[in-house]
Structure 1
Amino acid sequence: MTSALTGGVFVTTSGTDELADLRQLADDIGVRSFDERIGRRGLPDDFDSVAWKNLQDAGLTRLTSDPESGGGPTESAVVLRALARHAVTVPLAETDVLAAWLAAKAGLAVPDRGPLTIAIGNTGARTVSGVPYAGAAGAVVVALRDGAALAVAITDPATVETGHNLGGEPRDTIAVPGDGLVTLDGAAEELARRGAWVRCIQALGALDAAVEFSVAHTREREQFGRPLSAFQAVQHTLASMAGEVERARAATELAVAAVAVHGFDSAQADYAVTVAKVVLGRVVPTVVTAAHQLHGAIGVTIEHRLWLATMRARSWIDEFGDTAWHARKLGRMALTAGDPWDFVVGAV
């Protein structure tokens, strides 16, 4: 893969060194955002316009939806994970992987620059709740489900009510437009799969941060004249956390690879994303609980960086289908699989 920041666009093709460069660029933006917002977090957490501008100037906001970006799902996953690891409060996943894609599929125009968001509801609804970053978006792509079909429209972000998820990310309520709806048959499943895919990647980034914070805390904090990390029980907890996160990483990387090779609309992606959602749904509560136990009471305060990682991870695993929903789906896949062994090893 080659990579270069050319004319404000980070152009990439596949390759280990270039992905490392991209990861470093995204990490740099994330670290800068985190450091600049220390002590300024709240509920809800404000949209980080500075970080968004840095991402946009680097050409990282439309990696999958703009063919001229030179990027794709693999590059998008690298950036999404890095931003989640540093708790950057921007709607990158909503803009690129969800809203811009769905608007293009419906033949509807959205702004080329600036953040977008997506509002997913049911046909006949007059409002849609849980809309990410509605107050910051230049346009909202509304997707109303009717079975496997979607009625899609573009609307201004007329916020009816503001809100937030557990990790402080804006989750608002908007009014549904009365006209301009375009029907897309069979698009509902891919939209849900795309949403589950990005939330798995983001949750993995947040878990990475939770483990890093826990390792640093137990090394720095002393009890009975020794660092916490010197106690065997703490060492076992840290090792268990690391093992669980690696299990989540393996499942998530399978989902990224399936999408990169076969596309979001493939059976391979459907299988891999479902597996990842189930695995993350089981790993997140375990790692979150252990991280807060190691931090003690300090870890639950809004002033501490841990809650940004753990609470966002807890929120993300329940979006676009919770663990139980995906587990039932995986079970149905297993029952209808031709060869059980092929299903177990992912040869679908």
Structure 2
Amino acid sequence: MDPDLVEMIAAVFAHNPDGPNEALGSRSINRRLWSVLGDVGMTRLTEAEESGGSGATWRESAVLLSTAAAHAARVPLAEHDLLAGYLLDSAGLKRGEAIRTACVLDADGTASAVPWAGAVDGIVLLWNRNGWRVTDVPVSGISLDPGANLAAEPRDRISVDVDALDGTPVPDSVFEIFRLRGALARSLQTCGAMERVLDICVEHTGARVQFGRPLAKFQAVQHMGAAIAAESSLARAAAENAVNVAVEYGWDDGRTVFAVAAAKATTAQAATVVARNAHQILGAIGFTMEHELHRYTNRILSWRSEFGSVRHWEDILTDFAVTAGSGAVWELIEGRS
């Protein structure tokens, strides 16, 4: 990865933090930050250059998503570019400048827990009516019931009349790839947030003195901190491997499915350990609205079940292992089968 790109992305978020309203759970997007990101080509990162995008890959997107999560930024980068943008590209539709999210409709034309639905300009819909179809609708054209996840991020229920929709047919594979992309995006965001949690714990235990010495000197605290570091590193390795596999082999390759399933399951399990240990290390202060810790722990706990539950992805891993058989499991892990 280009170190200059990494430095630039970090600088954008560092110099454009969320304001007090966003920090306390506002349903709005940080439009000022979004504008800055747009100016440097980050909001249309994977869109083709000939269409006005940056023409980047998931490797660059991985840095962007992780950095945004590490700053608890209230911007729908994954939803807008990697999900809605992907569906529009699959259907041959133009992306344009509107901020979008995306979702899969049930048979009755509803979708629950749609990220940022009430805060964006439009929603790209994917639904199955004699084959999968995609359409782009303005938020004003849907019925919306506001909701939120544990971290107070907008997760709204929407409802549309599917009989009135005029969608563009897309291949059946689009649905599964959409879910894979969403799962990997959440895995990368979880990694960024967990790494910030580790930083918070290190800062706290180094500065906080108890019984005449820093908390970092207590063995029990060291063990909990070490577990956070280990789980975060394992999750990062799994997520980055999935990115590399997806870029090399494509989203419809079985190796990519396995790698994404491993990343999602690993980051989801790590999130439980990281959140638990971090709040034990910081004690009551970590639960207060004024402290930043809960902004990250609530997010990683919420993201665990988005785009497939932990059980769903672990079942996929199990199916792969059973199919490979005991003699080929290592080859499966190495990505050679």
Q: TM-score, normalised by structure 1?
A: 0.89
Counterparts of 1:291 and 1:27, CA distance in 2: 24
The answer for the alignment partner of 2:14 in structure 1 is 31
**1:207 aligned to 194, 200, 215, which one?**
194
The answer for the alignment partner of 1:276 in structure 2 is 263
Amino acid at match of 2:33: A
Distance 1:203 1:333, change over 3 A: same
Q: TM-score, normalised by structure 2?
A: 0.91
The answer for the alignment partner of 1:305 in structure 2 is 292
The answer for the alignment partner of 1:118 in structure 2 is 102
Counterparts of 2:225 and 2:147, CA distance in 1: 34
Amino acid at match of 1:41: A
How many residues align? The count is 327
Distance 1:152 1:297, change over 3 A: same
Alignment of 1:1-348 (within 5 A): 16=1, 18=2, 20-34=3-17, 36-38=18-20, 41-68=23-50, 69-110=54-95, 112-125=96-109, 127-145=110-128, 150-158=132-140, 160-177=144-161, 178-184=164-170, 185-337=172-324, 339-348=328-337
Counterparts of 1:192 and 1:347, CA distance in 2: 23
Distance 1:255 1:99, change over 3 A: same
1:58-87 CA-partner distances (Å, limit 9, x unpaired): 001112233451311101111110000100
Counterparts of 2:104 and 2:287, CA distance in 1: 31
The answer for the alignment partner of 1:12 in structure 2 is none
Counterparts of 1:32 and 1:163, CA distance in 2: 30
1:249-275 CA-partner distances (Å, limit 9, x unpaired): 110110111112122222221111011
Preserved contact between residue 43 and residue 164 of structure 1 (Cα < 8 Å): no
Structure 2: where are the runs of 5+ without partners? none
Preserved contact between residue 44 and residue 163 of structure 1 (Cα < 8 Å): no
Percent of matched pairs sharing the same residue:
36
Three-state SS of the structure 2 residue aligned to 1:187 is helix
Distance 1:45 1:292, change over 3 A: farther
1:222-254 CA-partner distances (Å, limit 9, x unpaired): 111221112121112111211111111110110
Preserved contact between residue 142 and residue 176 of structure 1 (Cα < 8 Å): no
Structure 1: where are the runs of 5+ without partners? 1-15
Counterparts of 1:262 and 1:40, CA distance in 2: 38
Preserved contact between residue 284 and residue 313 of structure 1 (Cα < 8 Å): yes
C-alpha displacement of 1:193: 0.4
C-alpha displacement of 1:171: 1.2
